[in-house]
Every structure is written in C-alpha cells, then in structure tokens.
Amino acid sequence: MMERKERIEELLESLWIITVEGQKDKSDFSLLKDDDAVKDLISMGYVLVKENQLGLTEAGKMEAQKCIRRHRLAERLMTDVFVEKSKLIHETSCKFEHLIHKDLEKSICTLLGHPKTCPHGKPIPPGSCCRGASKETLKKIIMPLAELEIKKRGKVAYLQTGNRDVLQKMIAMGVLPKTEILLLQKFPSYVIQLGNSQFALDQEMAAQIYVRQV
Amino acid sequence: MQIEKNHDGPIEQSLEIALGAIEGLLHDHYPLSRRAVGLLLLQEDHEIQEMVQESQPAIMSHIEKIISGVKAHYAYPIEYEIALRRRDEVERIINRVVKVKQKEQRIAEKISALMMNPIAGFPLLFLILYFGLYKFVGVFGAGTVVGYLEERIYNAYLNPVLVKTFSYLIPWRILQDLVVGEYGLLTLGLRYSVALILPIVTFFFLFFSVIEDTGYLPRLAMLIDRTFKRIGLSGRAVIPMVLGFGCATMATLVTRTLPTKRERLIATMLLALAVPCSAQLGVILALLGGHPMAMVLWAGIIMMVFLFVGFLTAKLLPGERPSFYIEIPPLRLPHLGNILTKTYTRVKWYFWEILPLFLLASVLIWLGKLTRLFDLLIFLFTKPVTMVGLPKEAAKVFLFGFFRRDYGAAGLYDLHKAGLLTGDQLLVACVALTLFLPCVAQFLMNLKERGWKTGLSVSLFTLVVAFAVAFVVNLVLYNFGISL
C-alpha cells in the first residue's frame, strides 16, 4: 500500500514537471497504459485521459503542487542541513518526501528560511507558511543574510538569485556555498568579512545570500 | 589552473569532459594555454569568444554545441560551477600550507568601523569635507595662495611687464588686444590657468589623493549607497562624483566605470548640472565668504537640485536598479610618495589638457568681440539675466562661463570686486552659475562620451534648469523681503 502511494505521488510530480513547468498541455501516456497508479489517479479525479495523452485536472494540479513542494523541500533539507553528498540527495529525498506530513512540511520550510528554489534551481511552490513568514516562533537554521544578527557568523548555504550579473558579483567577492561570513553591519549598507577581506553590499544582494548560523 | 581530477559522479564529470573536448578542438597558437582558453569559453567570456572566432571560425559552432550540452546539466551558470571547484581546490592547497593566527583588533579597524557607522560616519564626512574641501582647498588654496599669486605676483609684477613689453613689440592695437588685452592670451588665458586654476586644482588633487590613499572612498561609497539608489545611482558613483568637485570634465570621463548606460547618463547629467568643479568652487567660496547665510543657502539649493533632479530622472528613465558591492580595503596612513606622485600626474595631465582650452577661449573671446558676435550673444543673454534679477553686466559672465565654467565664476569675482552685486544677487548668480551649462571642455566630453544627441540634450537641460532655479530663488528672496 505504501509503495502504491509513493508511486502515485511520483507520477503526479512527473506530470507537474512536464505539463505545468514544461508548459505542455498533456503528456504521452502510451507507456503507462496499464499502470495501476494511473488508474488510481484517474479514479481519484486527478488525471484526465484524452487521445492517449495524460493531463492534470485542477484538483490534480493542487495535489501535484503539494507533492513537488515536499520533494524539493526534502532536497533542500538534505543539502542545507544534513549536507548530504550531491548524488545521494535525489535518492534520499525521494524516500523522505513521502514521510512529510502537513505540519512537518511547515516546520521544515520555516527552519530553512522559506526557500524559493531547490538545490538544482527549480522553484519550490510556496505554502501557506511562506506568506506569514515574518512572525514566527520557530528558530531558523537557514536564513537570508539580512536576518542574521550583527557580529554573528554564518556559513553560506546557497545563493538565491536568477540574475547572472549578481551571481558574477558574488563569485568576484568569493561568496559561495560553504564560505564563512562574519556580519559586521547592516545599515546603511551590509558589511561582511570573509577571510581577511571586507565587502560592503546592498540590501538586495544581502537578501539573496542564505546562510546557516554557526 | 588545475581543476581537481577526481569526479564524484556522472554530472560532476561533464564539465571536465566538455573542457577536454573543447581543448581538443583548439590549436596551440593562443597567448593562453588551451585549458585556460577552454575554461574562458565555457564561462562565455566575450573577448575570448571573439578571439577564437577570428582564429578558428570553423570550430565555433562545435564549441557552442558542447557548451549548450554541458549547460543543460546545471541550474546555475557554468562560471558558478567552475568557481565552486576552483574555491575547493584553493581551500585544499591553503589548508595544507597555511596556518592562520588570530590577530587582535587594531586601531585602524576601530576608526574604520566609525567611518562606516551611520551615526558617526556622516559627521565625520562633514568634518572631512569641511577641513579638506572648504578649509584646505577653498580657503587656503583658492583664497590665500591664489590671492598671493594673482595679486602679489601676477598683477603686481608680471602683468605690467607683459603689457609694456608686448605693447612695445606689437604696434597693432587689435593684436595687442589678443595678447595682452582685457581678455588677452597672456593677461587672461595664462593668468587664469596658472595663477588661479592651477593652484586650486593642485590643492584639490592633493586632498583627493589623501582620501584615496587612506581607503576612505569605498567607505564613503558604502555610506552613501542608500541615498544614491534613490537617484538611480549606486555607491560606486561616489568616485566620479567626488572627482567632479575637482574637475567635472575628468569626472565625466570616469563615469565609464559605471556598469550601466542608465547610471552613466544620470551621473553625466548631475555632473553637468549640480556638481561645481574646484575652480568654480574656489571662486564661489571666495565670493560668498563674506556672506555665511548666502553660502549655506547656496549649498542647500544646489544639494536640493542635485537630489530632486536625480530622483526625477531615476523615476523617468527606464532600467534596472543598480546593485552594489565594493571591497573595503584596510585603512592605512597615506603614503607621502604615493600622494605626491598621484597629485603630480593628475595636475600635469589636467594642466596640459586645459591650457590649450584656456588659450583657445581667449582667442574665441577676442574673435567674438572683434566680429561683434559676442555683443549679439550678450544681448540675447541680457533678457534671462535681468529676469533673474541680476545686473545686465552679468550676461557677459554667463557667456564666458561657457568657455570655461570657472572663467564665468572668475568673471563674477571681478564683478563682485567692482561692487556691482548685492548679497541677494550674489546668491542668485552663484546658484545660476553653478547649475549653468558645463564649460566647453565638459560640453565636448559629454558629446564624446554620451553621443551628440544625449550630450546636447543634457547641456540644453542644464541651461533651462539653471535659469529656472535662479528665477525661483530670486522670486522667493524678493517676495519675502530677504536681503542677505
């Protein structure tokens, strides 16, 4: 039974990646014709079959989005907190994601500072907890540099930027995952120390550096 | 550079495989090793792409295919992946050969923290500007030294001798005027450049070299970034802006270091409009020296125009907000040798750059007067000048102001010495002249750096704003019955 559930969730995730993120209407279905999981999905009203093609229904999209979110949060957790070796991330996450229930998902998301992308750069759909992110009680493990306290040290967990120019500036400074940063000042600009160098950067750049407090 | 050869898995390997394939295609005649060229190609370095395109055009499409193949493996750009591996390798080597000792905080670091602290930093900036720019460059350089050079040496000894000699040597009145007349090559061109502008600029560059050598400028950039973001610039623009207080022409050239076209345009415009150069600053400070209230108002008005125009342009010009980072080098005591060398090279560059322009300006003024073209232009300027409440003699100052901004300021100085201006008029004239069209050199630089269309629009814009602001200032002073 457990395996059946996992299979269903994996299928939903695949369909999400192909149809929603790949922006195609439907996915080829011929290989999966006799799969039990597909039949389940159809009977649950999550999937529609048209001309040998599979597509997600609205309810299916909602469910798939949640699965994707759990999967990518699990990946982040493995990389950022357990510092898992890269090739194991996918396998471990694949098992782990199915164990995450709703409350656990919120806690993980909060601990990680509400990440917006997975370690591979794909978007994590936001959950309800991401919206009211400012007033929380749970202590974060990973947070944007902007939320680190002054005089505290953090290790860069990842860079959250789609802007190549900004990324190149980060590379120029040497702000890369695993680099240790000492935050010296936040206003009027952020001042950080890495090794023997000090850099000043603006708020926008500081918000794109996610650190793990050490 | 050697990237670690052990691979973790199939994805990690693809970078090394792609690099190997590219290396195999390249020939050996590049100035860099094939591996280095390959790495730069993977990072899509434009210069290297062009170099290979020129040398081996046949392989480019092949290389592009390899690169797009390897890119598909990574969510981040390849240069990021390479940077990660390079950092790991560096760390591996460093951990084997370097031991780090914890060092105690030095005094320099405490001063550095004060400079970057917003509460202590701005008063400190004010002190630096007050003592460095006002006391040292303005009062001592532009006041004492220039006064001595101009009055005691030039006017008392040199000019009379020059006038006598050349009047004797050149019998024709017209040519006499060109050389030793009121606006003559020697009496005006050389006098202004050697006795007035040279010392002021020298003092400014001395000041600039000192703050540059201590490492203060990046700290200033960091302090001012938030404010500059509002006017569409980043903290990095602080360097051309501060330089603009020395020579706006040179500063316009330095706007090249700004990363986007939008920032360069905004900086060029603000330099043309609201940043007075040292020559101008020297004369204006001397003019307003006796009227402290007028000086405060002048500084306030110029600053307001600077921020307001910057704010508006940033709103109107489309484009991305600039992002800002800068390295903060350790503070250190300035090195005398460095300062003297830097000041010397800058003054030398500047002097040979402006001397011909000064002489040219003298010739143009002479020509303009001879052909009566200037009379026409002065006549055209009389209307706006009287509209802002200035005596019509000031029209001449504005016209000459175009040939060099400081010429105009110096002309104003003569007007003031002749007792032709009240305190109010002095303020209005100084405001208009500071905002007025850039000097001919900066005008040409604007055209050269921004293209003739933009350069011309910027110049026209400053002309309009200068008179509009002066008009408003005059109106306010008059209507509220303020006399300074």
Domain ranges of chain B: 10-97, 116-295+322-350, 355-479
What is the spatial distance between Cα B397 and Cα B437, in angstroms, rounded to a whole number? 12
* pLDDT for the residue numbered B212: 92
> A87-110: per-residue pLDDT in tens?
667 777 777 888 888 778 888 888
CA distance B374 to A133: 69
Do the chains contact at A167 and B75, CB–CB below 8 Å? no
Q: Which amino acid is at A13?
A: E
**Which band of pLDDT confidence, cut at 50, 70 and 90, is reported for residue A25?**
low
SS3 A120: coil
Query: Which has the minimum average pLDDT: A148-162, B36-50, B52-66, B404-418?
Result: B404-418
Domain A142-213 in CATH 2.30.30.90? The answer is: yes
Average pLDDT over residues B199-221: 92
E strand or H helix that includes residue A198: strand A197-201
Min mean pLDDT across A89-103, B104-118, B204-218, B411-425 is at: A89-103
For the cut 60, the answer to whether the pLDDT of residue A1 exceeds it is no
Tell me the average pLDDT across B395-419.
74
B55-60: average pLDDT: 92
Chain B residue nearest residue A201, CA to CA: B325
Q: Is the pLDDT of residue B1 over 50?
A: no
Does A179 reach chain B within 8 Å, measured CB to CB?
yes
Max avg pLDDT among A58-62, A132-136, B222-226: B222-226
Report the pLDDT averaged over residues B446-451. Answer: 87
More confident residue, B21 or A33: B21
pLDDT surpasses 60 at B46 = yes
Q: For the ranges B74-78, B114-118, B428-432, which has the lowest average pLDDT?
A: B74-78
Of A26-30, A34-38, A202-206, highest mean pLDDT: A202-206
Helix axes B10-25, B78-97, angle to 10 degrees: 100
Smallest CA–CA distance, residue A101 to chain B, in Å, is 28
CB contacts, 8 Å: B76 with chain A:
121, 167
Contacts of A163 in chain B (CB under 8 A): 323
A71 φ, ψ (degrees, to nearest 5): -60, -50
CATH 1.10.645.10 fits A1-139, yes or no: no
The answer to whether the Cβ–Cβ distance between B327 and A197 falls below 8 Å is: yes
- Mind listing the pLDDT tens digit for each residue in B178-202? 888 877 888 877 887 888 778 888 9
Q: For chain B, give the mean pLDDT.
A: 86
Residue B249 in contact with residue B442, Cβ under 8 Å?
yes
Query: String of b and e for B51-87 (b: at least 16 CB within 10 Å)?
Result: bbeeebeebeeebeebbeebbebeebbbbbbbbeebb
Q: Which CATH class is domain B10-97?
A: mainly alpha
User: What's the 3-state SS for B348-368?
Assistant: HHHHHHHHHHHHHHHHHHHHH
Query: Between B271 and A4, whose confidence is greater?
Result: B271
Q: Is A151 helix (H, G, I), strand (E, B) or coil?
A: coil
Average pLDDT over residues A41-50: 84
Percent of chain A scoring above 70 in pLDDT: 87
- Cα-based distances in Å from B177 to A124, B74, B171, B311, B375: 79, 75, 11, 47, 17
Residue boundaries of the structural domains of chain A: 1-139, 142-213
pLDDT tens per residue, range B413-442 = 778 888 888 888 889 988 988 898 667 778
Q: What is the dihedral of CA A200, B84, B75, A121, to 10 degrees?
A: -60
The distance of A108 to chain B (nearest Cα, Å) reads 23
What residue has token string 């370095």?
B45
Q: Which two tokens stand for residue A124?
A: 């994590």
Span of A132-141, B123-132, B235-244 with lowest mean pLDDT: A132-141
**CB contact, 8 Å: A165 with chain B?**
yes
Nearest to residue A156, comparing CAs of A201, A99, A124, A122?
A201
Distance of CA B248 to the CA centre of its chain: 5
Q: What is the C-alpha to C-alpha distance for residues A174 and A96, in angstroms, rounded to an integer?
A: 33
pLDDT of residue B228: 94
User: Span B394-409, mean pLDDT?
Assistant: 71
Average pLDDT over residues B210-237: 94
Q: Hey, how many other C-beta atoms are within 10 angstroms of the C-beta on A160? A: 16
Per-residue confidence (pLDDT) for residue A87, from 0 to 100 = 62
Residue A5 to residue A11: CA distance in whole angstroms: 10
